[in-house]
Structure 1
Amino acid sequence: MPFEKPKAKIQSIVNALSGVYDEREATNMANLLLSHFYGLDRMAIILNDEFSLVEGSEKGLAKSIDELNQHKPIQHIIGSVEFYGCELLVDERALIPRPETEELVDWIVTVNTVEAPSIVDIGTGTGCIPIALKKAIPNAQVAAVDISEEALTLAQANAKQNGVEVDFRHLDILENNFPFDLLDIVVSNPPYIPESDKAEMSSNVLSFEPHLALFVENHDPLIFYRRIAELAFLHLKIGGMLYFEIHERFGEEMIKLVEEIGFTKVLLKKDLQGKDRMLQAQKYSK
């Protein structure tokens, strides 16, 4: 059985991906692939000890490199992603959780003062937000809704994998009644990318992630935010909190939108890239 050193293997993978990805991206992907196919952790790579090139793993690696060069997301190839201390299954049924959404979850966890909050996540996708919140706030009563039954099936599998209970429900918030009341927290990362922005997006997103969860009509890009804010104002307790992940271009419009509905103490928060990507608002009056 042939052997190879991790750093040499990483370099060969980086070379194979160099036509599509820059060196930093390709190196990160190579590390993930070595961990996935050969079980090599970061320390094994640093020590650079020889490892055996198992035939089945070599075939899987070669296939994965081909898929990456066709812009398939590395998360779909590996089949999972780390999110705020959770291991989540990911595939074409839902959006891949992003770092900005981890920042939103961390904001909620950090400022929450309710010992056992009632929380609803709207447009849950993989279930990343409610699962992470339930793990971080074990006494919370957490529910989540989505229009996609396929996404809900994935979210339920993720909740089971992470050992938490979340009340998942199939719901079209534009059409159906909202079956929750007296909530402490409503959170959502709804579709917010105008159709006109498609041309600027990478092919791995356009080809492999559900457009239903990404795009909104150009004439009303805040349609889901408006509806969710209206529902939240009706169903939150006095003092309850609304949290959104938002498009970086719509910060001022979002402040105006939630204030017109009746929310107060509205805050915009920048992500680690310095972009306005999160909003918090509080319900103070009926």
Structure 2
Amino acid sequence: MLTRHLALAALSLALAACVGGGAPRLDATQSAMQARHLFGSEAVASGGRPEVIGFYSNGCVAGAQELPETGPTWQAMRMSRNRNWAHPETIDFVQDLSREVARTTSWNGLYIGDMSQPRGGPMLTGHVSHQSGLDVDIWMLPARDLTLSRQDRENLSSISVRSQRGAWINENWTAEHATVLRAAATDPRVARIFVTTGVKVWLCRNTPEGDRDWLSRIRPATGHHYHFHVRLTCPAGSRNCEEQEPVPAGDGCAAAEARAARILNPAPPSSEPPAPTGPAAPQPPRGNGVTLSQVPGQCLSLLSSL
């Protein structure tokens, strides 16, 4: 414990010595520290111009804004996590979508789950992504009551829309869920939306011809049945933001049907030994285990003195 405190103190000096916004120099002990311990301890956003830095699973956000706990068409959930921060573009998206949902469905708005920490970066627990202020989880539970107390929002649970191990939807799913997802996916700021596989399959089977362009942004993913996960594109002015690769061409429905079939009928384990492969190409660091030496250098400059 004493060694960690000494490393944090040394990092504080390195940050204080940082001039002109450049990245501080780290010694070997600091470089090996996991970034989540520092970003997870930040309670408020950094100052300065809003900017996304790095990738969704290895990045940070400068000048983040806090989504108000309660608005006319939304409530932020699990306030104790302090994960209702994001780039201003994401805040605007949440507010715009919640108004549209309140206008076009019987829902009064949206319950908003995790966004990002005050300065982004890896989290102590939970998400691998949500680091750059461009990810937001939106609950599948229709928002009927927007006067919930903080304690209510700690105790209330969302609903699952999954059945058949994720290959299909259950009785909690409604056509209004589809309306909400379409409204989100047709927003030009959205890069992709992650949902449980059965949701994608239902949408593919029930969306008429001539109105299917938005389906390509709906991507089946493991989990994502208590909420759907919206990921925005890099906003203007964030030169150091790293985009995810574009979604494949087409509506993605054939791939979703095949994925559902594999869930229902997984292939038996092969008795053949795996074919030999060459050395794997090095991959960039991602997720909660990244060290301070692996995060984008500009992100280190957002950490406060300790």
Q: TM-score, normalised by structure 2?
A: 0.26
Identify the structure with bigger relative contact order (alpha carbons < 8 Å, sequence gap 6+): 2
The structure that is strand-richer by fraction is 1
Q: TM-score, normalised by structure 1?
A: 0.27
